[in-house]
Chain A
Amino acid sequence: MRYFFHYRDAERYFADAEGTDLNDLETAQSEGRLSARELLGSERAESDPDFLAGAYEISDADGMLLAVVQFDETEPKVR
Chain B
Amino acid sequence: MDTPAYNNRLLQLMSHDDRAALGTLERIVLPMKQRIDGAEDAKFVYFIEVGVASVIADVDGKMAVELGIVGPEGMVGLGAVYGDSVDPFQTVMQVEGSAIRADAESVRRAVAERLELRAVLLKFARAFSIQVSTTALANGRSKLDERLARWLLMVADRAGPTFSITHEFISVMLGVRRSGVTLAIQILEGKHFIRATRGSIAILDRAGLTAAANGAYGFAEQHYARLLGEPV
**Does B bind A?**
yes
- In the docked arrangement, what's the CA distance between A7 and B186, Å? 10
Residues of B within 8 A of A32 (CB): 179
CB-based contact B182/A38 at 8 Å: no
CB-based contact A39/B143 at 8 Å: yes
CB-based contact B186/A39 at 8 Å: no
**Number of A interface residues, CB 8 Å?**
22
B142 CB-CB contact with A under 8 Å? yes
The prevalent SS among residues of B at the interface is helix
Say yes or no: A18-B186 contact (C-beta < 8 A), given A35-B176, A35-B179, A56-B179. Answer: no
Interface string of B134-153 (1 = CB under 8 A from A): 00000011111100000000
CB-based contact A39/B142 at 8 Å: no
Interface string of B160-179 (1 = CB under 8 A from A): 00000001100000001111
CB-based contact B143/A41 at 8 Å: yes
CB-based contact A38/B177 at 8 Å: yes
Interface string of A14-51 (1 = CB under 8 A from B): 10111010000000000110111011111000110000
Chain A residue at minimal CB-CB distance from B177? A35
A-B contact pairs, 21 of them (CB 8 A): A7-B183, A14-B186, A14-B187, A16-B179, A16-B182, A16-B183, A18-B168, A18-B182, A20-B178, A31-B179, A35-B176, A35-B179, A35-B183, A38-B143, A38-B176, A38-B177, A38-B180, A39-B145, A42-B141, A47-B143, A56-B179
Residues of B within 8 A of A38 (CB): 143-144, 176-177, 180
Interface, chain B (partner A; CB < 8 A): 140-145, 167-168, 176-180, 182-184, 186-187, 190, 198
Chain B residue at minimal CB-CB distance from A32? B179
Residues of B within 8 A of A79 (CB): 140
Interface string of A32-75 (1 = CB under 8 A from B): 10111011111000110000000010000000000000000000
The prevalent SS among residues of A at the interface is mixed
The contact of B183 among A5, A31, A34, A41, by CB within 8 Å, is A5
Residues of A within 8 A of B145 (CB): 39
Residues of B within 8 A of A16 (CB): 179, 182-183
CB-based contact B179/A5 at 8 Å: yes
Say yes or no: A5-B182 contact (C-beta < 8 A), given A31-B177, A39-B144. Answer: yes
Chain A residue at minimal CB-CB distance from B145? A39
Residues of A within 8 A of B142 (CB): 41
- In the docked arrangement, what's the CA distance between A10 and B140, Å? 30
Residues of A within 8 A of B198 (CB): 17
CB-based contact B183/A14 at 8 Å: yes
Residues of A within 8 A of B187 (CB): 14
